Amino acid sequence: MTSTTQPTHALAQALAQLPLIAILRGLTPAEAPAIGEALVSSGFAIIEVPLNSPEPLHSIAALTKLFPQTLIGAGTVLNAQQVKEVHAAGGRLVVAPNFNPAVVAQALALNMVVLPGVATPTEAFAALDAGAHGLKLFPAEMISPATVKALRAVLPKSAALMPVGGITPDNMAAYRTAGASGFGLGSALYAPGRSAQAVQQQAQAFVKAFRG
């Protein structure tokens, strides 16, 4: 994805390819190329490196150079300054655990895809009104498929709803039936020190479960 691509189009393209976000919390820059290759070769189109990882901006810069067609950016983005830093590193995606209007506004100003975290209808509508391209439903351990179904009934049909937290190949089907658009995948996919081969096996298991 290039910086000239409209964020809405870029997200739609990535979600159409595979609506699973690889969350690489704890990734190091040295691991980034091999882990990125394991994911991209498995079909992943969206990768986030949380900012509480070691040297996350270096990992983001490396990944964006190696995989320019992949939507890559940062998670755990908490303020507007961090949005600027992710953009400067080449990132085109901002994911947050919460809804901060300043984060959304800065991401929009820089033509970046922004997915704030929400847990209630009030937060969801406020985030969409602020211009969010989709919603991270977080933590999914607190947001059951029944809750997703209730949110889906009142939110715009175009809103991408992405449960994050505790998602495994076994529990995706119930969320999808309830109206989830896709998922963010954390420690069940990648954990610090996990080999690229092991990550690829997990990635393929998620893809198979999602498409199955």
Query: Token pair 């997915």 is at which residue?
Result: 115
E-state strands within 16-138: 20-23, 46-50, 71-75, 93-95, 113-115, 117-118, 134-137
- Bridge partners of residue 41, in order along the sequence: none
As given in the structure block, the two tokens for residue 86 are 């992710």
Tell me the two tokens of residue 174.
């119930």
User: Which amino acids are annotated catalytic?
Assistant: 48, 136
Reading the block at residue 114, the tokens are: 């922004």
Tokens standing for 197? 């081969």
How far apart, in whole angstroms, are the C-alpha atoms of residue 113 and residue 120? Answer: 21
What's the rounded Cα separation, in Å, for the pair 86 and 73? 7
At residue 204, what are phi and psi to the nearest 5 degrees? -65, -35
